[in-house]
Amino acid sequence: MLLILVNGAPVISRKLFKNHAAWSVDFGFRLLDQRPVFGNSKTWRGLLSAILVGTLAAPWLGLSVTQGVLFSVFTMLGDLFSSFIKRRLGYVESSCFRGLDTIPESLFPILMLQHAIGLSLFDCVLVVLLFFILEATLSPILYALHIRKRPY
């Protein structure tokens, strides 16, 4: 549940706040390959909204505030990691790359907090798999509702 809330926060904040506070995390910086580090779709507004939502939701889900912060940060690091890899491979912002779009952002927080939140290795694999399936299922619906930019 926390994974869904943290990943959904940037999407909802973009819908609510439009272009307000939509500063790119990489500030438009490009690497030697002349591609953006992450791209304009990765914003400070999205990053901070994800951390805020995760922090506030964690206690309601039986986790500490600290675990909520860490979970949110590692989720966003996974998301940034996948964007970084996609830019290096030449994919444009918000383009679909099945697996790379969901696995790091679900795997990073689950593995980092596995023992703290009492998950077995099987639980970790199950969470990543369920998140992958849920993302693939919900994405077209969110697109149809004009919440997502693309129908992945």
Output the DSSP codes for 31-97: -TTSSBSS-TTSBHHHHHHHHHHHHHHGGGGT--HHHHHHHHHHHHHHHHHHHHHHHHTTPPTT---
How does pLDDT run across 26-79, given as a tens digit for each residue?
Answer: 999 999 999 999 999 999 999 999 999 999 999 999 999 999 999 999 999 999
pLDDT at 141: 86
The answer on pLDDT for 133 being more than 70 is: yes
Q: What is the pTM of this model?
A: 0.89
Length of the chain equals: 152
The Cα–Cα gap between 74 and 30 comes to 23
Query: What percent of the chain clears pLDDT 70, i.e. is strictly above it?
Result: 98
